[in-house]
Amino acid sequence: MLNTAFVGVGWWGTVLAEAVAKFPNRIRISGATSVDTDDLRRFNERFGGVAYSDLDQILSDPNVQAVFIATPHSRHSDQVCAVATSGKHVFVEKPLALTTADARRAAQACQKAGVVLAVGHNRRLMPAALALKSMLAKKELGFVLHAEAHFSVDSAMRYQTDEWRAQRHEVPGGALTSLGIHMIDTLVWLFGPVARVTCLSQRKVLHVDIDDTTCALLEFDCGLTGYLATLFATPLTSQLRVSGTLGSAVAEQDFTRLIKTTSEGEQHVIPLDDSDSVAAEIQAFANSCTKGKPYPVTLQQAVHNVAVVSAMLNSSEAEGAWTEVER
Domains 2-121+279-297 and 123-274+306-324 share a fold: no
Q: What is the pLDDT of residue 275?
A: 87
- Residue ranges for the chain with pLDDT beneath 50: none
Contacts of 10 (CB under 8 A, 6+ apart): 34, 36, 39, 70
Domain boundaries, the chain: 2-121+279-297, 123-274+306-324
Q: In the sheet that 247-252 helps form, which strands lie side by side, from edge to edge?
A: 267-269, 257-262, 247-252, 237-244, 144-152, 225-231, 213-220, 194-202, 323-324
CB 76 within 8 A of CB 92: yes
CB 141 within 8 A of CB 135: yes
CATH 3.30.360.10 fits 123-274+306-324, yes or no: yes
Q: In the sheet that 117-119 helps form, which strands lie side by side, from edge to edge?
A: 50-51, 27-33, 2-7, 66-69, 89-92, 117-119
CB environment 213-249: b (16+ within 10 A), e (fewer): bbbbbbbbeeebebebbbbbbbeebbbbbbbbeebbb
**Bridge partner residues of 148 (DSSP):** 227, 241
pLDDT tens digits for range 63-105: 999 999 999 999 999 999 999 999 999 999 999 999 999 999 9
Contacts of 252 (CB under 8 A, 6+ apart): 128, 238, 239, 258, 259
pTM: 0.97
Q: At what angle do helices 11-20 and 277-291 cross, to 10 degrees?
A: 60
Give which of 145, 163, 120 is closest to 278, Cα–Cα: 120
At the topology level, CATH places domain 2-121+279-297 in Rossmann fold (3.40.50)
Q: What is the pLDDT of residue 273?
A: 87
CA distance 284 to 227: 29
Q: What is the pLDDT of residue 106?
A: 98
